[in-house]
Amino acid sequence: TEFGSFDIFAITPEYYYVESLNLAEGSRYINDNDVEGYRKVVSLGKVVKEALFKGEDPLGKYVKINGVPFKVVGHFDDPGGDRDVSRVYIPVTTAQRVFNMGNRIRNVCLMLDNATSAESQDVLEEAKTLLAQKYKFDAKDPRALFTYNSIEQFQQFMDLFAGIRLFIWIIGIGTIIAGIVGVSNIMMIVVKDRTKEIYRAGDGCRAAGTGIQCAATGRLFCQSRSGFQYCNWRHRNINNLRCHCRPCPGTKSRRSQAGGSVEG
């Protein structure tokens, strides 16, 4: 028998679409029949399944939640992270009856199709107003009702990434301009150094050799400078690597373990 401490969520079938979970083969979601029939069924996250069943197929088996047996009808994974895979989902009506929760509901989730940030905020404000009128509280009081708009948060992240992309473009353009100025200065120095040869070419001497000498000198100077910068960069990286690879005496690994109320 395995034990573990996990978050238990009492949900309706629509909650799976809010979280976009990946259902394992042979599994099913908690459906309307489970909710209407107060069935003692459970869906396990990947972390919970591995902790309780150690790689075995949990479908059709039973787990105890706070001492009450529930039949496993599904297990799932979450490509977005480890938060949801450490959860246990049961029908909301079953939780209200078995664990004496009454008709209390902790969270309400709303989904909108192709809505902008402004449209989602309008729907959120309308929902807050309706709840405030029914339960007699101020809709503008943040302590009365906590709300979270994922579309607004997503837009903030997109704006942040757009700013990062703009910054990278500015740095890239600045680097190109600096390179152009640097090469121009090098060519000016080379041409100035070859002024006598250019005058001789103007007096009738062969000009091809002078042009080749200027181009070759500029190219050699640029390559020498680039090679020096590369060697300097490699030298610093090797020194940093040597510092980071030094052993740290007395280092020990630690592991924590928690018990809980879910038993498989």
149-200 pLDDT, tens digit per residue, is: 777 777 788 889 999 999 999 999 988 888 788 777 777 776 676 666 666 6
Amino acid at 82: D
Rounded distance, CA 229 to CA 232, Å? Answer: 5
Residue 91's closest CA among 112, 110, 71? 71
Q: Which residues lie across from 197 on neighbouring strands?
A: none
pLDDT attached to residue 62: 93
pLDDT attached to residue 152: 75
Amino acid at 204: G
Domain boundaries along the sequence of the chain = 3-98, 117-148, 156-243
Rounded distance, CA 141 to CA 149, Å? Answer: 17
Class of residue 180 by CB neighbours under 10 A (exposed 0-12, middle 13-18, buried 19+): exposed
Per-residue pLDDT tens listing for the chain (264 residues): 778 888 888 888 888 777 778 888 888 989 999 999 999 999 998 888 988 988 888 899 999 998 899 999 999 888 766 677 888 999 999 988 888 877 777 778 777 777 777 887 888 888 888 888 888 888 888 788 887 777 777 778 888 999 999 999 999 998 888 878 877 777 777 667 666 666 666 555 555 555 566 666 666 666 665 655 556 666 665 555 554 444 444 433 333 333 335 565
Rounded distance, CA 90 to CA 78, Å? Answer: 17
Instruction: Report pTM.
Output: 0.57
pLDDT attached to residue 40: 94
pLDDT attached to residue 256: 30
